[in-house]
């Protein structure tokens, strides 16, 4: 009986007949079983992922030379058509530009517009000359101010101050310096009055938030979270009571936090 052995190839390794010892043959058989088991596991993973077959990966086409494609007008993507970006702008000022020293007989053929967008922030002071009348009985009557004029600072200036303070988080000192650089004659007390006074609508909203806390008494965690974000005021007694460690008149007295974390209600 012939026992001639053939050459074995495992990857890039070639095993000749003279090197095929019993140990080498056992290792080759073990590698074959492991490879079959690994293939079965991969097929099972593909089935679980919904892939019945192995993905077919096409060879890369980066190394292939491609002919340049000539794009036609129908190849443009939607919305890429050119438009006049300044056509819808409101023009506040027009300045004509001419060329001096041209020879006689030169005529103007038209204009080429060049639009420049800019921003102007400057003081705008208005003097209202209120007429004073003397009646027949000797009394004086003075014309009333226009509607919406309260104090010596206009609505747009107040809006700018509140926007810089609440939205841009500008400090009062920097805001005062900025206004004076714009040419606004304002003191720190007047600025403080604009920021704090005349906001009854905001206080009413804060009071309504205090009423909401009563309805949220069934959820201590939600009530505590809201109370932390509202500063206690005289107009909101409920929130002031939440600032007390044990507010007995309200059901929030049962609110507790984990050890090591003291309550920060009203911060």
Task: Report the SS3 class of residue 26.
Answer: helix
pLDDT given for residue 186 in this prediction: 94
Phi/psi of residue 195, nearest 5 degrees = -75, -30
* Model pTM above 0.95: no
Phi/psi of residue 45, nearest 5 degrees = -65, -40
Whether residue 156 has pLDDT greater than 70: yes
CA distances from 55 to 36, 120, 259 (A): 19, 62, 56
Give tens-digit pLDDT for 131-154.
999 999 999 999 999 988 888 999
Separation of CA 87 from chain center: 29
Give tens-digit pLDDT for 200-256.
766 666 666 554 444 444 444 544 555 555 555 554 444 444 444 444 444 444 344
**Tokens for 119?**
């921003």
Q: For residues 152 and 130, what is the distance between their CA atoms, to the nearest angstrom? A: 14
**Tokens for 48?**
């679980």
pLDDT given for residue 229 in this prediction: 52
Question: DSSP letter string over 90-102?
Answer: PP--------SSP
pLDDT given for residue 83 in this prediction: 66
Q: For residues 256 and 266, what is the distance between their CA atoms, to the nearest angstrom? A: 15
Tokens 């190839």: give the residue. Answer: 9
Cβ distance 190 to 197 under 8 Å?
no
pLDDT given for residue 72 in this prediction: 66
């Amino acid at each position: 009986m012939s026992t001639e052995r053939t050459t074995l190839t495992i990857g890039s390794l070639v095993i000749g007949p003279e090197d095929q010892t019993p140990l080498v043959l056992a290792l080759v058989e073990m590698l074959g079983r492991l490879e079959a088991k690994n293939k079965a596991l991969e097929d099972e993973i593909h089935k679980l992922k919904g892939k019945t077959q192995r993905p077919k990966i096409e060879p890369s086409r980066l190394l292939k030379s491609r002919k340049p494609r000539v794009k036609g007008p129908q190849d443009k993507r939607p919305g890429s058509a050119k438009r006049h970006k300044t056509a819808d702008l409101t023009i506040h000022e027009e300045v004509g530009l001419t060329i001096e020293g041209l020879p006689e007989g030169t005529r103007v053929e038209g204009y080429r517009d060049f639009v420049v967008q800019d921003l102007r922030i400057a003081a705008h002071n208005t003097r209202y000359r209120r007429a004073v009348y003397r009646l027949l009985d000797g009394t004086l009557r003075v014309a009333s101010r226009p509607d919406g004029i309260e104090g010596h600072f206009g609505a747009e200036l107040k809006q700018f101050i509140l926007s810089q303070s609440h939205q841009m988080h500008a400090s009062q000192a920097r805001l005062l310096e900025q206004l004076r650089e714009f040419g606004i004659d304002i003191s720190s007390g007047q600025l403080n009055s604009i920021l704090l006074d005349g906001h009854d609508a905001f206080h009413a909203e804060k009071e309504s938030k205090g009423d909401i806390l009563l309805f949220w008494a069934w959820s201590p965690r939600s009530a505590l979270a809201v109370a932390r974000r509202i500063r206690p005021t005289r107009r909101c007694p409920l929130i002031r009571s939440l600032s007390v460690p044990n507010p007995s008149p309200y059901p929030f007295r049962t609110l507790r936090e984990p050890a090591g974390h003291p309550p920060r209600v009203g911060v």
